[in-house]
Every structure is written in C-alpha cells, then in structure tokens.
Amino acid sequence: MIDLKKIKLIVDGAEQRARHNAVSSLVSVGMSKAMAIKFVDHVIQSIPSLKDSNRVYIEGIIRWFIEGQLDLTDKKDLAKLDSFLRVFSGNFASAEYNRNFVSIDDKIPASFDMLCELMTIDIDSDFKNYDELQGHDYKVVKIDNYKASLPYKKYAPLWCIFQSEEAFSTYSLQGEYSVYLLLRDDYKSVPAVPGTEHPVDAYGVSMMCVVKNNSSNKIVTVTSRWNSAEEEDRFLSDSQLKSIVGAQTMNKIYK
C-alpha cells in the first residue's frame, strides 16, 4: 500500500530545502534574510503554477533572477514563469533536471530561454486566443510508415512516433493500428502558448495524433501537440474530440 503520509513528508521536505536554498542564495548576494524570506514568499504567491510539488522550483527561479535572466518584480516575467511551469511540470524533459534546473546528467545549469526552446514554448508571444478550441477546419493525414511522418516532425518534435522507425512500429503495432494526424488550419502558425486548461488549449489541439485499432475500428489513443506526461492515453474522449474537430473529420478516421 502506498504511504501517502510518507510521500507528503518527502515532498514537504524537498519544498522546505528549496525555499531555504532560495533564501540563502538571495542573502549571499546582499539581501537581508528577512527581506529574502518575504521576497521568496511573494514570488510563490505571485505564480499560480508554483504550487504543490512545483514549489521546489523556487530554487531555480531565484537562480534565474539573481543571474538577471528574469525580473521577478515584473508582472510580465511572472506570467512567463506561470506559463512555463504549466508546461514544464508535465513535460517528460522535467525528469532530466533538478529543482535548480540543473541537468542531472551533465550537471550544467539550464537557462530559462534554453528550457523554453527545448519544450517549444513560444514564451514571448502576444497570442491571446490560447483557449480557442472550436471554429477551425481540420485536415486528416493517414501516416502509413515512419518515413511518411518525417515532414511533420518539425511541428511536434517531442512526439514518440517521430523518433525512430522502431517507435513508429510500436505505436502502430506493426500495422494493426492506423496512425492519423489531425492538422488544424492554423497548425503551422499557432504559437506554442499554454492555455488555462493546458494541455487542452489552442496549441494542444492544433495538431493531434490519433491511433485507431483497425480490427475494432475504435480509437485507442489521442495525443495532444504538447505530448504532456500528464495526459492519459486518451487525451480526449470521442465526444470531446468530435466537438473540436467536427463530425466530418471523425468520419474520415472511422471510414
């Protein structure tokens, strides 16, 4: 049985260590301890996504502030961090970095811009319609093999099916499953800006991968463009998918 109390103690302990290190870093550059504590608390309260297990990242955020990468007194930069954390915490890449955003493998500290680029987040975009899901046309592209998928790789570079022939074969179950790309009419131009319901947002639904069991003619997986680790195999149910892409698009998958 999972000991939830023990897990909570571990998470709380990690958060306290991160807060302590963040405060110590500010003190080391001349801020008084009392002011540093207030500043760290203010930053945590100012970033909605900096909650629960994400609070450990306060250590790395303060590092970025000290290095001049971000201004934590600027509401725009605080909003950037909020968007960043919504994507980073659910991204597979997060497992490769510690709470100070230092690579676990090569021990190299990552910059804010570098991590945004790694996760294809368009953090400086002025795009406002990031929660827009309906009102677009979709093109359905059936992908029969790995080679046929390559022209689309640059638009969703983190998808597993784009990584190798072996990965594609695994997802298509050696041809027993069909792989479809659902491409929204603006998929080439919509910026990678996380919405309030990330990963169910404009960028997330602008390009989706649907895998169908040919024997049962049923959809088995739907993947968003974000490919978030928080997604279940079915990113959207059939009814949710239909409400976004429309009946005509669904009929092209089920034909």
Residue type, 37: I
Radius of gyration of the chain (CA): 21
Name which of 225, 242, 235 is nearest 122 in CA terms. 225
**Angle of helix 33-46 versus helix 58-66 axis, rounded to 10:** 110
The Cα–Cα gap between 224 and 66 comes to 35
Structure tokens at 211: 């895998």
> What is the rounded CA–CA span in Å between residue 5 and residue 11?
10
Nearest-5° angle of CA 37, CA 41, CA 111?
95
Q: What is the pTM of this model?
A: 0.80
For each of the chain's 255 residues, which pLDDT tens digit applies?
444 444 443 445 788 999 999 999 999 999 999 999 999 999 999 999 998 889 999 999 999 999 999 999 999 999 899 989 988 987 778 889 999 999 999 999 999 999 998 888 888 777 677 888 888 999 999 999 999 999 999 999 888 889 999 999 988 888 899 999 999 999 999 999 898 888 899 999 999 999 999 999 999 999 999 988 777 767 899 999 999 999 999 999 987
Burial class for 77, CB neighbours closer than 10 Å (0-12, 13-18, 19+): middle
What letter does residue 109 receive in the DSSP assignment? B
C-beta of residue 200 within 8 angstroms of C-beta of residue 236:
yes
Question: In this structure, what token pair is assigned to residue 64?
Answer: 């970025």
Closest CA to 63 of 95, 91, 98: 98
